[in-house]
Structure formats: C-alpha cells, structure tokens
A and B are shown apart, each in its own frame.
Chain A
C-alpha cells in the first residue's frame, strides 16, 4: 500500500489481484447477491485508491481493507432490508446459487439420478441460510473469523468493539449456528 501511496500503479494492480477474491467472497456472503457484492468490492478498491495519499500504516492493511468492506456491507444489508419490506409477499422466494445465478428455490428438485449431489446441495443451502439468518454483525464476525482467518484483535478493530465483546459475539454466533445446523452437526460429529 505504501508503494501505491508513492504513485506506483503496478502495486495497485497487485493489491487488486491479491484481495479481489477474498473481498468478493466476503461481500457475497454478507449481501447474498453476486452482482451487488462485486459492485461493493469495486467501491472498496475505489475508496482505497482515493485514500492512498492519506494512508497511514497505523494498522494492518487487511484490517483497514475489511473495515471499509464491512461498513459498506452492513450499510447495504440495512438498505436491502428496507427494500425487501416493500416486496410483495406473493413474490416467489429466490436464493442465490453458489455459482452466482439467481434461481427459484425448488424444495423438491427433481434430479433423482444425482442423489449425492442433491444432498450436498441441500446441506449447502442449510449452511448458507443459517449464516444468512445471523444478525449482520455476528455474520460479519463469523465470516472474518472463519474465512479470512483474521485474529481477534483485527476483527475487533474492524467491527469497532473490544476484544472481549468480539469473543462474546463470536460465541453467540457459533452457538446459533450449532443449534440451526443441529442435524448436520450431529451427523458430522458422529463421523
């Protein structure tokens, strides 16, 4: 980032290459819409570029980057919540497929020949829904902890809370996931 600050355009391209996938994945799991996740990730990079001259390396770059991303994601989730309230209750329920395409949620997908695939698909849907149901701050904490593997200190700076508050937040989130995914957890624990 210090090279970007010094005006090295090549270093910005390196940052983009290194962080685009973690950022898009984090944002996708926060907002549950691929197009929106990519738009938000673009916005994150744009903000990094705009702030390059004022950047002070007081914290790790990843902390700063995910702080911007988390704030954008939380704002977007809150905005979407208000928009969803206006959607008709008659509208069909849709979820994002993992490949990013929107598709109608078909509870009894008729694919008898690929039973194993169907079971995995149902499992993934359950996991995605369990994460989606978490309050947004808990969801952000779990995603940063589990998928970005950031330490407690970094996550607490990103979420602007104390480390002990973060541990409590994470504990509650994993407890909720444990209960929501109880059938899968029991199955997994037996293995």
Chain B
C-alpha cells in the first residue's frame, strides 16, 4: 500500500472502523513506513487532545423554556376543524343547509293529481300556429339602442 492510498484509510484505522483485510494491510504498511506511523500517532494525539474539552451543562431553565415554547404552539387542527370555527356556527350552518334542501325539494305539483297529457289545450294547434303566414309579417325585434334612437326622432 502506498502512502497516498494510506491517507484515505488513516482515519478509519485510528477509529477502528476498517475491515479486517484493510486493517492488516495498513499494519503491514506501518511496519515499514516511519512517516505514516508518525502520522497515525499524531492523529491519535489530536483525538486525545479533543477529549480535553469539557462538556457544558444546559442551563437550569433550558427544559422549562422548551416546554413553554412547545405549550405555546397552536394545536394542530384538521381541515374540518378549520372549516367549522365553532360548534354554534356549525349548528346554525347545518340548520340553514337542511332548510334550503327541504325548500328546494318541496314540489306542490307532485302533491296534486297528475294531469292527463291529452287534456293540455295549449299545444293543440301548434302545427297550425307555427306555419301561420301572417305572423311572418310582424316587424322584427329591434335592438334597444336603435329603439331609443327611433323614439328620440319621433
């Protein structure tokens, strides 16, 4: 193993995270390479030095502050809860909806006696009326602005 290849493995070796084969290969290299051997020892020293930094303890009020912030969080609501801001409004809204549905479905014709289609006189002479020639002589509908113009002229 060359020294440049060793660089990629040195940290894993110091951490003890190399695979068995890699570790053996590294140790074989270290036996013959003083520079890499020194570097491994220096990396171990860096690790040991970093251990010298003491841990700090969170302040006594830390938990209380977190709990207070969590308690201040608005409760998560479902979309239905958003749609219905209060039970009273929900009740009134549903009553109104029910009333509208009831009024909409009320059909007085359906209560009265059904009408026989043969008794309907309106459509009796429809063919005659639709082909009644004098009706074509009636003046055509005039647009509103033209009608205003005509009335002003008069």
Contact = CB atoms under 8 A, between A and B. Distances in A.
Interface string B25-61: 0000000000000110111111111101111111100
Contacts of B65: 38, 42
A20 B100 CA distance: 58
Interface string B1-26: 00000011011100001000000000
Contact of A20 (B43, B63, B69): B63
A177 B63 contact: no
Contacts of B8: 167-168, 171
A100 B42 contact: no
B109 interface: no
Contacts of B58: 20-21, 24, 38, 41
B7 A171 contact: yes
Contacts of A123: 49, 52
Contacts of A65: none
Contacts of B70: 12, 45-46, 49
B66 A46 contact: yes
A111 to B, nearest CB: 18
A152 to B, nearest CB: 7
Contact of A25 (B47, B56, B62, B63): B56
A30 B66 CA distance: 20
Contacts of A152: 17
Specify the main secondary structure of chain B where it touches its partner.
Answer: helix
Contacts of A174: 11, 43, 46
Nearest to A180: B46
B46 A178 contact: yes
A16 B53 contact: no
A42 B72 CA distance: 13
Interface residues of A, number: 44
Contacts, number: 102
Nearest to B43: A174
Q: Which of B7, B44, B45, B69 has the most chain A CB within a 10 Å cutoff?
A: B45
A53 interface: yes
B11 A188 contact: no
Contact of A50 (B54, B66, B67, B73): B73
A28 B39 CA distance: 29
Given A24-B62, A38-B62, A146 B56 contact: no
Contact of A100 (B10, B11, B49, B56): B56
A77 B118 CA distance: 91
Contacts of A16: 63, 66-67
Contacts of B52: 120, 123-124, 127
A109 interface: no
Contacts of B55: 21, 25
A160 interface: no
A58 interface: no
B62 A41 contact: yes
A98 interface: yes
A178 B42 contact: yes
Query: Which 4 A-B pairs have CB atoms at the shortest separation, nearest pair first?
Result: A188-B45, A24-B58, A185-B45, A189-B45
Given A49-B70, A49-B73, A189-B38, 6 more contacts: A42-B66, A45-B69, A120-B52, A167-B11, A171-B7, A189-B45
